[in-house]
Structures are given as structure tokens and as C-alpha cells.
Structure 1
Amino acid sequence: MTEESTAPDTAYAICGFNDIPSRRAVGFHLVIQDEDGTHRPWPIIVVRWGKQVFGYLNRCPHNDVNLDWERNQFLDPNGLRLMCGKHGSSFEIGTGRCVDGPCKGSGLTPVALAVLDGDICVTGVTLVEDDQNSPEEG
């Protein structure tokens, strides 16, 4: 068993594709199971941009804090980049690369997503499934 075979064919639906409006980002508080069986929090951001979805770990590479400056507020004032509410670093939505701020040159950790049967799904990991896999209420 290789490290990459954690859950290669498993997809976990976290919300419907249409549950996230285009050009919006939503945070999810999930729980991941590591290879040794331990469970740990796994906060992620899902961005829908037209027919595309992008996923990132909700952690700023500058100081390891969540990006949202208010619950589910991830985008800059123009709605064109992800932004860290703590220090103002901004990230390209399509790549996660930091283009401005203290972590310029580094990037967000990508999360593998797929759209299957109208649902946005997380792939390539083992999630602890429970009723907590819902978007944050705001």
C-alpha cells in the first residue's frame, strides 16, 4: 500500500454544485482520518467560479490562521481573489498562489475536488463522515 492509495477512488459529497453561487467561496469544517487512523480537523474553502470549483485548505501560509475575516468571507473587496483576513495576503483563485502580502510567493494547500452527479465532492482523502459536513451557517 502506497501513501497515495489513502482513498484514491473515494469521493465525499460535501454540498450540491448549485449550493454555492458562482464567484462565491464557502468554508467547510471537515474531519480527516490520517493513515494511522487518527482524526484531525480539516477546514477547507470551496470556491465556485462559473462551472469550475477550486478547493484549498483554510490556512494562510504566512501564519497558519484561517483565511476568513468573518464567517464565510474569503474574497477580497473586488471578489476576484481569496484574501487572508489577518494580514491581507491575497491569493489567485485558480492557483492558490499568493500574489500580495506577507506570504507573497508561497501558496495555499490545494484540496482535490470533483463535481459528480451535481455534487461537489472531496477526493483523495479519507473523511470521518458525520452530520458536521455542512457549510457554516452565517
Structure 2
Amino acid sequence: MDTDLVYAICQLNDIPSQRAVGLQLVRVGQDGAEIAWPIVIVRWGRQVFGYENRCPHHGVNLDWERNQFLDPNGIRLMCGKHGAQFELGTGRCMDGPCKGESLTPVPLVVLDGDICVVGVQLAEDAEDEEFDAPATCDEEA
């Protein structure tokens, strides 16, 4: 992972605490090809956790409706298709058909109030588009 690569994708305050939002990014593969990269970001106070928006059970998106990622208690990520539940801080499946498996983490840091992806090359156009479009973060999650 190249930790010199840092892309601001959203402001911390764009995501309410104890909420999760999905973003559609585009990363650059090792061959230079652009790859769609849907992610989910969970904010818990000043902490953020990021995962690819893909359940390890069948590879489906976690959200059953737009930006609906958390279980009814709001304490775990939940797959809308099969009900698998994942720990917020580790991405590990605690209940459901993929128990013991984990979500794929997305390396995030908070710098100067911005949530940033670290070590992953994003397509420049997508990065600019996402940073200008945190309306996905502003909407009720």
C-alpha cells in the first residue's frame, strides 16, 4: 500500500455520528484500468471505518435501500439480502450465512476534518466528482 496516496472524499461532518453512507468511487487497477469501487463509510464519533460495499456471502451490495447499512439497533452493518451482521470496527461477520468471514476494509484517515482514502489510487475524475458531491453524505442515512 502506497501511503503517499491520500484522497479526500468527504468531510467528517457530512456523515452524522452513528450513521453509515455509501459512496461510488473509481480506483485505478494495477494495469491502469479504472474499476468501479462502491464503499461504505461508518462514522462513530471521531472514528471512521470503511469497507467495500460487498457482502462476502454472494458479493451483493450491503444496503437494501440507499444508505441503509445498519441493523435495526444501529450497532452493526447488515447485509440487506441475507441479514448477515458485521462488527463496525472490524468488518467481521458475527451472524448470518458468512459467519466468520469479513468485509474488505478500505483504509481511511481523518485529516483536517476530511475523510481520506489512503494507499489506493483513485481515478482523478472520480476523486474530483466525489469530493464535489458529498450530497450523498449530507442526505439522511
Partners of 2:9 and 2:48 in 1: how far apart?
13
The structure with the greater share of residues assigned to helix is 2
- Is 2:77 the partner of 1:63? no
Alpha-carbon deviations, 1:80-107, whole Å to 9, x = none? 0000000000000010000000000001
Aligned twin of 1:126: 121
Alignment of 1:42-61 (within 5 A): 42-61=37-56
Partners of 2:100 and 2:129 in 1: how far apart?
34
Partners of 1:68 and 1:53 in 2: how far apart?
18
Q: Which moved more, 1:125-134 or 1:35-44?
A: 125-134
Alignment of 1:94-105 (within 5 A): 94-105=89-100
Partners of 2:87 and 2:3 in 1: how far apart?
27
Moved over 4 A (4+): none
Alpha-carbon deviations, 1:52-101, whole Å to 9, x = none? 00000000000000000100000000000000000000000010000000
Give aligned-pair identity as a percent.
69
Partners of 1:52 and 1:126 in 2: how far apart?
22
**Structure 1 residue 15: deviation in Å?**
0.6
Unaligned runs of 5+ in 1: none
Q: TM-score under structure 2 normalisation?
A: 0.90
Alpha-carbon deviations, 1:95-129, whole Å to 9, x = none? 00000000000010000001011100001100012
Q: TM-score under structure 1 normalisation?
A: 0.92
Alignment of 1:54-93 (within 5 A): 54-93=49-88
**Structure 1 residue 19: deviation in Å?**
0.5
Give SS of 1:132's match: helix
For 1:81, the aligned partner's letter is R
For 1:66, the aligned partner's letter is N
Unaligned runs of 5+ in 2: none
